Structure 1
């Protein structure tokens, strides 16, 4: 049977408010040495408009031109850039290897890169900071470090990255899966995607499944000595990437894997994510919600899919509770009938509506 129309029904498709566009400018910005990290960036919209800094997900997800379509091109100056190690930024994990591209690749480095990029592009005053999933994490960390730079935070698919959040995504019932693959022994995205979960765990032995993230990272950290080890490493990266890519959509498109099934993208995405997850995102425990009083001084707009299985809705609930406790309710809190992806129709339209409705920046 052809389920293509059903699979497409949750996507934004032809319902974008603003048309596809080509960048006004693009380039590479040198941000570090040893290794020589160079960020790839693109600029869209109105070069004299209100600045928007777009922070992609992952970590390691990179940007695409479609991400500029959330914004009125007559009003906003939109900056897209690929974070360290991925996309068109250099060195790239897939090309240079993790030993090089993951050196000096931490959340503090990424925050510093945003400062350098805005300075290089002549953004002197407050800007809108727009991020989804890991991009929401980085946006909050950036805002805590530089609140005066932020006119507003527009956050989609809140990701707090606590151990329980990562366990939900990657551990679930893995330790006992070999004996009872359909047993609901722990919370987890596996409940909704059992076939994709089986593929993720099939890469590992029963012993390795006691700590899925650590076992995958061990595969990624391996220096392959032969073709079989190289093949296992690539297969692991593709499987990791496809797991998140498929479950990001409320109606999975198993036959259309997109960028998540591309080998170079997968090597970047999987290895950068594993690097950050193994290091608690390079963010001190409790740092984000513990600084809710700082975030509360900035208008915070939240869009979160009710059926999000990458970042369950409870993560947004924890952020909203922290903001309320700090004395400032979110400026917007939209719970959509969607999954995780920003390209799900309800998420995309909600984000566009928020950007259309923001108070204009003075000057």
Structure 2
């Protein structure tokens, strides 16, 4: 059978409107002591342009230069930074260990870090806040707490972080998997990605599969005594990371997990996510939907992939319903024929079009 004409990827290729560019400048900003958390940041575009604060996903996902390509560099001053514990920020979970890098690494800390970075870069007026996945969570929490800082919210792949959202992606049918691996016993991402789910589930011993997130967290929390322990932790981190990275694309690149398959990235990404998820994101249940009235006066644009299996579309629906009930109906809501990743072609086009069409900051 000739399969050569089938679509092999849904990720962005030549759809970018703006070229890949070098940062104008970069640095490390000290935001905390004992341990000395330092945020790595980069600035792109027009230094005198409208500021855009880019919030990456994860938690623990880190930034890359391609993330500046959503924005017209002749109009915007684009700020990318790596959140605590990951990327080029210091310390990191991968190089310094979780005991250090996860100390004072909470949602409150990350929100405060945005304010510190904004101040250090001389941003005194309103700024656009652009976030996807966990970045959308952080953007919403930041706007709820500091609405006067925010000119516009641009959100992609809404993640509300409630228990049901996490169970959908990480628990699924794991408890009954050994007896019925393909049974639809519970809702979950595994329905669409059964082969990828197999690798994620089978990393955990059968008796521990009743709570997959807790089982992974126990491996991450173990203090390695030898090379075998370290290898077990790395295997678990890679399984966690590759599971999310693979299912982020509507059409996965089966032979290339990209950064999600790199040891240092996976160790940061998996352990920071497990840390936040074990602590319910360090916010009260329903925090966003219960406080969304505070952003009623902030123009908000939402882009969400119809086929998103990391953050299903119903999360955007729940947010929009709460916003409407509080007089905060979004300026736009675009559903793309895409999965979760910001690098899916239709999502790139939608986000770029929104940024190109925003009215100037007053």
Q: Distance in 2 between matches of 1:260 and 1:180?
A: 28
Q: Distance in 2 between matches of 1:303 and 1:324?
A: 17
Q: Distance in 2 between matches of 1:147 and 1:318?
A: 21
Unaligned runs of 5+ in 1: none
Residue 294 (structure 2) pairs with residue 297 (structure 1): no
How far residue 2 of structure 1 moved from its aligned partner, in angstroms, is 7.3
**Number of the residue aligned with 1:228:** 228
Q: Distance in 2 between matches of 1:228 and 1:195?
A: 26
Q: Distance in 2 between matches of 1:329 and 1:104?
A: 35
- Spell out the pairing of 1:1-363 with structure 2 (5 A cutoff): 6-8=7-9, 10-362=10-362
Q: Distance in 2 between matches of 1:58 and 1:3?
A: 34
Partner SS for 2:7: helix
- Sort the Cα spacing of 1:63 and 1:251 in 2 relative to 1 into closer, same or farther, 3 A: same
How far residue 335 of structure 1 moved from its aligned partner, in angstroms, is 0.5
How far residue 47 of structure 1 moved from its aligned partner, in angstroms, is 0.2
- Sort the Cα spacing of 1:343 and 1:91 in 2 relative to 1 into closer, same or farther, 3 A: same
Partner SS for 2:275: helix
Q: How many residues end up aligned between the 2 structures?
A: 361
Q: Distance in 1 between matches of 2:331 and 2:344?
A: 22
- 1:264-316 C-alpha deviation (Å, 9 max, x unpaired): 00000000000000000011111100011112221110000000000000000
Q: Distance in 2 between matches of 1:3 and 1:231?
A: 38
How far residue 15 of structure 1 moved from its aligned partner, in angstroms, is 1.2
How far residue 352 of structure 1 moved from its aligned partner, in angstroms, is 0.3
- 1:198-233 C-alpha deviation (Å, 9 max, x unpaired): 000111111111000000000001111111111110
Q: Distance in 2 between matches of 1:18 and 1:11?
A: 16
Q: Distance in 2 between matches of 1:89 and 1:192?
A: 35
Q: Distance in 2 between matches of 1:141 and 1:3?
A: 45
Partner SS for 1:264: helix
Give the root-mean-square deviation of aligned CA atoms. Answer: 1.1
- 1:145-189 C-alpha deviation (Å, 9 max, x unpaired): 100000000000000010000000000000000000000001000
TM-score, length-normalised on structure 2? 0.98
- Sort the Cα spacing of 1:79 and 1:3 in 2 relative to 1 into closer, same or farther, 3 A: farther
Unaligned runs of 5+ in 2: none
Partner SS for 1:250: coil
- Sort the Cα spacing of 1:3 and 1:234 in 2 relative to 1 into closer, same or farther, 3 A: farther
Q: Distance in 2 between matches of 1:340 and 1:131?
A: 13
Q: Distance in 1 between matches of 2:353 and 2:153?
A: 14
- 1:215-261 C-alpha deviation (Å, 9 max, x unpaired): 00000011111111111100000010000000000000011111000
- Sort the Cα spacing of 1:3 and 1:206 in 2 relative to 1 into closer, same or farther, 3 A: farther
Q: Distance in 2 between matches of 1:321 and 1:97?
A: 41
Q: Distance in 2 between matches of 1:122 and 1:268?
A: 30
Partner SS for 1:39: strand
- 1:79-122 C-alpha deviation (Å, 9 max, x unpaired): 00000000000001000000000000000000000000000000
TM-score, length-normalised on structure 1? 0.98
Partner SS for 1:123: coil
Q: Is the 8 A contact 2:241 2:269 kept in 1?
A: yes
Q: Is the 8 A contact 2:15 2:348 kept in 1?
A: no
Q: Distance in 1 between matches of 2:183 and 2:124?
A: 55
